[in-house]
Chain A
């Protein structure tokens, strides 16, 4: 691959770990998962948990609106110049996997505009269980499902559940009301994922996003090491 790290060089192509000026770029973490599983709420909680210790930014991939970006703006989790929305032409999985050019442009523009950044969160539009991020776009990915979507999802597997670097089972506070068996979900996830980590989370409980935030800090430590 023809890559150029000098200051006058043209922009990077994709996952190159350095920016055109030779500096180390931000760690990019993707968040994917079905519609309504709590991706945006997790992003908002992560921003609140990490914004005082890290320089971070968010790219959202709304399917047909700017709702997710506007939710983050309304909640004021980050200054507006640190949140960018990418339009995906009705195909959120295409924009994060098959043709990542608009998302790459968004992360690079964020680093140029408000950088240097430590971390960029790339949130996919809600999609299906097969949606995964390209390694050309993100360094690690979190797949977010929730207990109300059915406790058989970990058993069904699929690329998101099986291969994501972190699986988050969200809304555990709802489990008693929707008849989801958390022990069964944990056992099925273990079968599908072997040693890959799983976090059970309720953003309404005191612990909130703490486990996911801890995982992000570990990834960042490895990235900057």
Chain B
């Protein structure tokens, strides 16, 4: 058990398939909602407080030992877009491979067997964090950070945005990220008593609609 495992898990170069996904940024760029660092920040803030919060709570609950099947069903219920559910499962399957290589254990093998086509990515992320000896707060931070780092990196590629501006966006969101992680862990801690309904169910309708639109494009750079 080593806290530094969090750095390995949260590293953008961790080979878990994330590089091929824009977190909704490609659809938002095409729709004209992301055009600059300023509205990239708005987009990321929205994603952090909706998809990021939900992902953080799911991941934290998985670290706390909540049944991954219950969490996967809860993630399904919180993801209206079929395209996003497919993307989340694909990313979960890809993360599973990297996690099993990094922190091999029976619990991850069992999850891989139970969900051969992948569980929702935040659920796998939580179990990976648990396998690495990390805590629920670590998993929540990792999930919440991924919810904004993915779109920020994608926007650099899609808009030829100045990478320093994109990094500035992430840095300015850090205090909010702290608060989202705390809220996510608080919700996750209520799950053993109250069930998965205690998990947040925030969602950004435009993210869901945009994902369906994006999935129908014949030509795109990112898988989601």
Give residues in A with beta carbon < 8 Å to B.
1-2, 4, 8-11, 13-14, 63-66, 86-91, 94-95, 98-102, 104-105
Contact, CB under 8 Å: A87 / B223: yes
B32 at the interface (CB under 8 A from A): no
Across-interface contacts of A14 in B (CB, < 8 A): 97, 101
CB within 8 Å of A: which B111-142 residues = 112-113, 116
Contact, CB under 8 Å: B113 / A64: no
Contact, CB under 8 Å: B109 / A4: yes
User: Using an 8 Å CB-CB cutoff, how does the interface string of B1-28 with A read, 1 for contact, 0 for none?
Assistant: 0000000000001011111111000000
Across-interface contacts of B22 in A (CB, < 8 A): 89
B164 to chain A, nearest CB (A): 19
Across-interface contacts of B15 in A (CB, < 8 A): 98-101
Partner of B94, one of A66, A89, A98, A105: A105
Contact, CB under 8 Å: A10 / B112: yes
A11-B220 contact in complex given A88-B20, A100-B15, C-beta closer than 8 Å: no
Across-interface contacts of B190 in A (CB, < 8 A): none
Cα–Cα distance between A194 and B218 once the two chains are bound (Å): 44
A102-B97 contact in complex given A11-B112, A90-B221, A90-B222, C-beta closer than 8 Å: no
Q: How large is the interface on B (under 10, 10 to 19, 20 to 34, 35 or more residues)?
A: 20 to 34
Contact, CB under 8 Å: A13 / B97: yes
Cα–Cα distance between A13 and B104 once the two chains are bound (Å): 11
Cα–Cα distance between A45 and B190 once the two chains are bound (Å): 60
Central interface residue in A65, A88, A100, A102, by most chain B CB within 10 Å: A102
Given A89-B19, A101-B94, output 13 extra A-B contacts at Cβ < 8 Å: A4-B109, A9-B113, A10-B100, A11-B112, A13-B100, A13-B101, A64-B221, A65-B218, A89-B21, A95-B19, A98-B13, A99-B19, A101-B15
Across-interface contacts of A89 in B (CB, < 8 A): 19-22, 154, 157, 221-223
B219 at the interface (CB under 8 A from A): yes
Q: Which residue of A lies closest to B158 (CB)?
A: A90
Across-interface contacts of A94 in B (CB, < 8 A): 19
Q: Which residue of B lies closest to A99 (CB)?
A: B15
Contact, CB under 8 Å: B109 / A10: yes
Q: Which residue of A lies closest to B118 (CB)?
A: A105
Give residues in B with beta carbon < 8 Å to A.
13, 15-22, 90, 93-94, 97-98, 100-101, 104, 109, 112-113, 116, 154, 157-158, 218-223
Cα–Cα distance between A95 and B22 once the two chains are bound (Å): 15
Would you list 9 pairs from A and B whose C-beta atoms are within 8 A, ordered by A residue?
Answer: A1-B104, A9-B109, A13-B100, A64-B219, A89-B20, A89-B223, A90-B221, A99-B19, A104-B97
Q: Which 4 A-B pairs have the closest CB atoms?
A: A2-B104, A10-B112, A89-B20, A101-B94
Cα–Cα distance between A10 and B104 once the two chains are bound (Å): 12
Partner of B218, one of A66, A86, A102: A66
Across-interface contacts of B158 in A (CB, < 8 A): 90
Contact, CB under 8 Å: A101 / B154: no
Cα–Cα distance between A8 and B114 once the two chains are bound (Å): 11
Q: Which residue of B lies closest to A2 (CB)?
A: B104
Cα–Cα distance between A89 and B101 once the two chains are bound (Å): 23
Across-interface contacts of B17 in A (CB, < 8 A): 99, 101-102
Central interface residue in A1, A9, A13, A89, by most chain B CB within 10 Å: A89
Across-interface contacts of B113 in A (CB, < 8 A): 8-10
Q: Which residue of A lies closest to B113 (CB)?
A: A10
Contact, CB under 8 Å: B20 / A95: yes
Cα–Cα distance between A4 and B101 once the two chains are bound (Å): 12
Across-interface contacts of B218 in A (CB, < 8 A): 65-66
Central interface residue in B13, B93, B97, by most chain A CB within 10 Å: B97
Across-interface contacts of A104 in B (CB, < 8 A): 97
Cα–Cα distance between A216 and B22 once the two chains are bound (Å): 37
Across-interface contacts of A86 in B (CB, < 8 A): 20
Cα–Cα distance between A3 and B198 once the two chains are bound (Å): 37
Cα–Cα distance between A67 and B151 once the two chains are bound (Å): 25
Partner of B100, one of A2, A8, A63: A2
